[in-house]
Amino acid sequence: MELARILRDLNLVEESEKCNGASACSLIRVLSQIHHRFVAEESAKLGLLKSTVQLLRSGEGCWLFPECSSDLSAAYVELVGCFTGYAALPVCDTDSGTLPSSSYEQIPPKAEAVGSALLALTVQLGEAVRSSDSTISGTARSLIRTLGPTLCVFSITHLQDQAWTSKASRKCALELLNSTVRATSSGSLLELLCGKVEGDKRGMLGPILDTLQPELTKENWKRNQAVKHVFSWVLVQVGRPWLADYLEKVFPPSLLISDDYRTDNKVLGVHCLHHIVLNVPAADLRQFNRAQVLYHALFNHLYTSEAPLIQVVLPCLVDLLSVLEKPHVHTGSPRKPNHFDDVLRLILTHMEMEHKLALRRIYASNLLLFIEKMGIGIARHLKRLERVVVGYLEVCDAPEEKARLSILEVLERTIQTAWPRIECRMGVLAKSLLRFLVDISSESLSPELREELMTRASRCLLLLDHCSQGKLLVLLKEVDSSCVSDSVLECIRSLTTAQGV
Query: What whole-number percentage of the chain has pLDDT above 70?
Result: 87
**pLDDT score of 385:** 95
What pTM value is reported for the model? Answer: 0.90
Residue with the bigger pLDDT between 468 and 295: it is: 295
pLDDT, position 328: 59
pLDDT for residue 487? 67
pLDDT, one tens digit per residue, over 198-242 is: 555 578 999 999 999 999 999 999 999 999 999 999 999 999 999
How does DSSP assign 440-454, residue by residue?
HHHS---HHHHHHHH
Measured distance CA(432)–CA(392) in Å, rounded: 10
Q: Please compute the mean of the pLDDT values over residues 102-117 and round it to a whole number.
A: 94
pLDDT for position 26? 81
Cis peptide before 399 (omega within 30 of 0): yes
What pLDDT digit, counting tens, does each position of 312-330 carry?
Answer: 999 999 999 999 987 655 5
Convert 4-20 into a string of H (helix), E (strand) and C (coil).
HHHHHHCCCHHHHHHCC
Q: Give the number of other Cβ atoms within 10 Å of residue 155's Cβ.
A: 27
Over the chain, what is the mean pLDDT? 87
Which pLDDT does position 382 carry in this prediction? 94
| pLDDT score of 13 | 46
Segment 328-340 mean pLDDT: 70
SS3 content of the chain, % helix, strand, coil (to 5): 75, 0, 25
Banded pLDDT at 496 (limits 50, 70, 90): low
- Residue 369 burial by CB count (10 A; 0-12/13-18/19+): exposed, middle or buried? middle
* 85-89, 275-279, 343-347, 438-442: segment of lowest average pLDDT: 438-442
Q: How confident is the model at residue 254 (pLDDT cuts 50, 70, 90)?
A: very high
* DSSP SS3 for 484: coil
pLDDT category, 44, cuts 50, 70, 90?
confident
Mean pLDDT value of segment 127-131? 90
- Looking at per-residue pLDDT, the higher value among 4 and 45 belongs to 45
**pLDDT at 116 (0 to 100):** 96
Q: Per residue in 160-182, pLDDT tens? A: 999 999 999 999 999 999 999 99
* Predicted pLDDT at 214: 94
Q: Confidence band (pLDDT; 50, 70, 90) for 486?
A: low
Dihedral class, residue 289 (left if φ above 0, else alpha if ψ from -120 to 50, else beta): left
Over pLDDT 90: what percentage of the chain?
Answer: 58
**What is the 3-class SS of 287-330, one letter each residue?**
HHHHHHHHHHHHHHHCCCCCHHHHHHHHHHHHHHHHHHCCCCCC
Q: How far apart are CA 483 and CA 363, in angstroms?
A: 33
| 343-367 per-residue burial string, b: 16 or more CB within 10 A, e: under 16 | bbeebbebbeebeeebbbbbbbbbb
Is 135 or 19 the better-scoring residue by pLDDT?
135
User: Do residues 271 and 312 make contact, with C-beta atoms less than 8 angstroms apart?
Assistant: yes
The answer on pLDDT for 485 being more than 70 is no
pLDDT tens by residue, 349-401:
999 999 999 999 999 999 999 999 998 889 999 999 999 999 999 998 888 89
Given this model, what pLDDT does residue 183 score?
Answer: 93
State the pLDDT at residue 483.
61
Nearest to 169 by CA among 177, 178, 159: 159
Give 239-243's long-range contacts (Cβ < 8 A, gap of 24+).
Answer: 239/278, 239/279, 240/279, 240/280, 241/198, 242/193, 242/194, 242/195, 242/198, 242/203, 242/205, 243/275, 243/276, 243/279, 243/280
Highest mean pLDDT range out of 2-16, 125-139, 316-330? 125-139
**How do residues 89-104 score in pLDDT, each as one tens digit?**
999 887 777 888 888 9
| Least confident range of 92-96, 344-348, 484-488 | 484-488
pLDDT at 498: 53
DSSP per residue, 193-260: HH-SSTT-TTSSHHHHHHHHGGGSSTTTTTTSTTHHHHHHHHHHT--TTTGGGGHHHHHHHHHHHHTS
